[in-house]
Amino acid sequence: MALEALQSSSPLIVYFDFKSPYAYLAVEPTRALERELGVTFDWRPFVLDIPSYLGSAKLDKAGKVAQQNRTAGQWSGVKYAYYDCRRYANLDSRIVRGTKKIWDTHLVATAMLWARDHDRSIMDRFMDLVCLPFWKREFDPEAMEVVTGALSAAGADGEGFANWAQSEGFALNARLQQEAFAAGVYGVPTYVLDGEMYFGREHLPRLGWELAGKSGPAPDIGYAVGSSTSIDQPRPKSISIGVDGSLDSLLAFPALKSLLDRYDLEAEWVEVEPRRAGSLPPREDQSRGALHKHFRLRNRRADLERYTPEELKNEDLREALAAALKTHGLVLGQEGPAEVRRSALPGIVVKIDEELYIGRQHLPLIALHLASGSS
């Protein structure tokens, strides 16, 4: 296999890492989009260097933190990520257990290249044979015999892989990793369409619209929930909505207000406390952690450009949001749950009883949540 083998005619590149729960949750909706459009995407491995931007931690046999070098903010982000991923995994009875350490996934990334070179269906089977047990803590992605066993079970040449990996596979994977990061890929899942990068499965509605010919208005971001998905929740006893003056809050507001009105529900509207702006590393700092921050900021700016409605592109978003709230006679309070008022993550914050959602990508699931107890 040579580098040229990754040059395909596919309209969309998908970057994936086995140790990312967000990438795991993106597999099925991304495959569903392939089936819907009748096309095959170009799936490629990308190995996250988590310690470079999120610190590291390792659990002992009792499940307690034995070693770690994370800040309080980093721990908050990690804990919410697993909380969020388990919520969506539970919708279709999947299991996502927090990992005991940050795994080195270069071996399974290289094996993904090997499986991909055999056949797309073999690569799909291999990914499933790794992901399903991995997220149950039943698969060691660093053990050659475990990985070759999964390759053989998927229909690939497992024995041949071990020789190929040592002779050229690991070097090829390392080269591809360097090229992807140099191009600006910093997280997974990342989708690349016509050179434009989209980070996160919440962009699948937009990508589907782009690939289908841009018919009608462009859809907003959103985590897909199946048409047959239902959740069993009682009528909410309390709803708190934290607004932070961002585009996310501005675009989420009318949908949330409409849902509350439809089900005759009341919510307390809370002002999210100003977040401390993080400083960017100087340009001369070319470390991976520094570049990661620059890539993330570039991605946020691209999203702002993509999703800001034309009529708002020259407007002050805070003023536009204040006007929308005033139209409905709503005033933001200074009180409310601490996790709503002091959210470290950007975006609108919705707390329904004890369930916390951060970001408008959750609107489809929030709609199901509010509907479940109001029928």
Among 199, 231, 261, identify where a domain stops. 199
Report if residue 308 sits inside a domain.
yes
pLDDT in tens, 257-283: 999 999 999 999 999 998 877 788 998
Q: Is it the case that residue 65 has pLDDT exceeding 70? A: no
Residue 221 lies in a domain: no
Angstrom distance (rounded) from CA 48 to CA 103: 10
Looking at the fold, whether 115 and 254 belong to one and the same domain comes out as no
- 185/306 same-domain check: no
Is 208 part of any domain?
Answer: no
Burial string for 224-257 (b: 16+ CB within 10 Å, else e) reads bbeeeeeeebeebeebbbbbbbbbbbbbbbebbb
**Structure tokens of 373?**
């107890």
Are 273 and 321 found together in one domain?
A: yes
pLDDT tens digits for range 178-218: 999 999 999 999 999 999 999 999 999 999 999 999 999 99
What SS3 state is found at 240? strand
Whether residue 308 sits in one domain with residue 185: no
Residue 233 domain-assigned?
A: no
- Judge if 182 and 250 occupy the same domain: no
CA atoms within a 13 Å half-sphere pointing along the CA-CB vector of 340? 27
pLDDT confidence bin for 4, thresholds 50/70/90:
very low
Does 215 map to a domain? no
Task: Give the least confident one: 130-139, 169-178, 208-217, 336-345.
Answer: 336-345
The answer, yes or no, to whether residue 60 has pLDDT greater than 70, is no
Whether residue 245 lies inside any domain: the answer is yes
Q: Are residues 178 and 60 in the same domain?
A: yes
Same domain, 138 and 59: yes
Q: Is the dihedral of CA 153, 154, 160, 163 positive or negative?
A: negative
Q: Do residues 248 and 321 share a domain?
A: yes
- CA quadruple 10, 15, 17, 18: dihedral positive or negative? negative
Taking residue 182's Cβ as centre, other Cβ atoms within 10 Å add up to 9
326-335: pLDDT as tens digits? 999 999 999 9
Please name which of 224, 236, 230, 202 lies closest in space to residue 356, comparing C-alpha atoms: 236
Q: What is the CATH number of the domain that holds 191?
A: 3.40.30.10
What digits encode the pLDDT tens for the residues 27-55? 999 999 999 999 999 999 999 998 876 56
Cα–Cα distance measured from residue 205 to residue 223, given in angstroms and rounded to the nearest whole number? 9
Is the domain of 53 the same as that of 183? yes
Under DSSP, the state recorded for 3 is: G
Say yes or no to pLDDT of 227 above 90: no
Among 199, 226, 255, the domain-final residue is 199
* Domain of residue 329, residue span: 239-372
Q: Does one domain contain both 50 and 186?
A: yes
Q: State whether residue 65 is helix, strand or coil.
A: strand
User: What would the pLDDT profile of 93-124 be if each residue is shown by its tens digit?
Assistant: 999 998 889 999 999 999 999 999 999 999 99
Q: How many angstroms separate the CA atoms of 256 and 271, rounded?
A: 16
Is 210 inside a domain boundary?
no
Angle at 196 between CA 195 and CA 200, to 5 degrees: 130
Confidence of residue 3 (pLDDT cuts 50, 70, 90): very low
Q: Tell me: do 117 and 247 sit in the same domain.
A: no
- Look at the chain and report how many structural domains it folds into: 2
Interval 163-183 mean pLDDT: 97
- Per-position b or e across 153-181, b if 16+ CB within 10 A of its CB: ebebbbeebbebbeeebeebbeebbeebb
Strands (E), 20-83: 42-45, 57-59, 65-68
- Whether 214 is covered by a domain: the verdict is no
Residues 174 and 275 in one domain: no
Residue at which a domain ends, from 171, 199, 227 = 199
**Inter-residue contact 284 to 212 (CB < 8 Å):** no
Share of the chain above pLDDT 90, in %: 81
